[in-house]
Amino acid sequence: MSLSESRRDALSAAYDSYSDMLFRVALAQLGNAEDAMDAVHDVFLKYHDSKVSFNDPEHERAWFIRATVNRCHDIFRHKAVRNHLTLEDAEHLTADSSDGDSVAQLYRALEQIPEKYRAAVTLHYLEGFSVEEISDMLKISASGVKMRLARGRDALRNYIEKEEN
């Protein structure tokens, strides 16, 4: 097997393992499917073009999530976010919900909270990562993750209460 074949196999395996999760993370960060797809695509291009090596699968997963969050930050910074479809087109990607309206409402609510809280809330509650794992991925302290989760929950609660009234 040539080097390019092994690199192609590694890319394919990484895509199979992480693409759906990274799309959901990017979607929660950016608010529309087109930008989320662009962010995930950019992350896989970065992986393909780099010579990054990983210590273990946890390190690899953390790298992909961190690269995705960073790319989403870049998109915001460069004002490249375009207003397209709502997050309702991502209903089929959620793992545990059969109620599409609830999923769409959740993503709409996530769009309303500050981006730094959105990342922690998405990784913890939607993707199931622990506080310690998120701390490693986002390069912040565990107490910082806990604070972002608490403030994110408060922001979501306030938004939902406001919408119900």
**What is the token pair recorded at 51?**
């010579």
49-100 pLDDT, tens digit per residue, is 888 888 998 999 999 999 999 998 888 776 433 444 344 444 444 444 455 6
User: What's the chain's length in residues?
Assistant: 165
- What is each CA distance from 86 to 12, 47, 82, 91, in whole angstroms? 29, 28, 11, 11
Residue ranges and CATH numbers for the domains of the chain are: 3-164 (1.20.140.160)
Q: Is the pTM of this model over 0.75?
A: no
**Of 99, 4, 21, 90, nearest to 60 (Cα)?**
21
Q: Which residue has the tokens 């074949």?
A: 5
In one-letter notation, the amino acid at residue 41 is: H
106-125 pLDDT, tens digit per residue, is 788 888 888 889 989 988 98
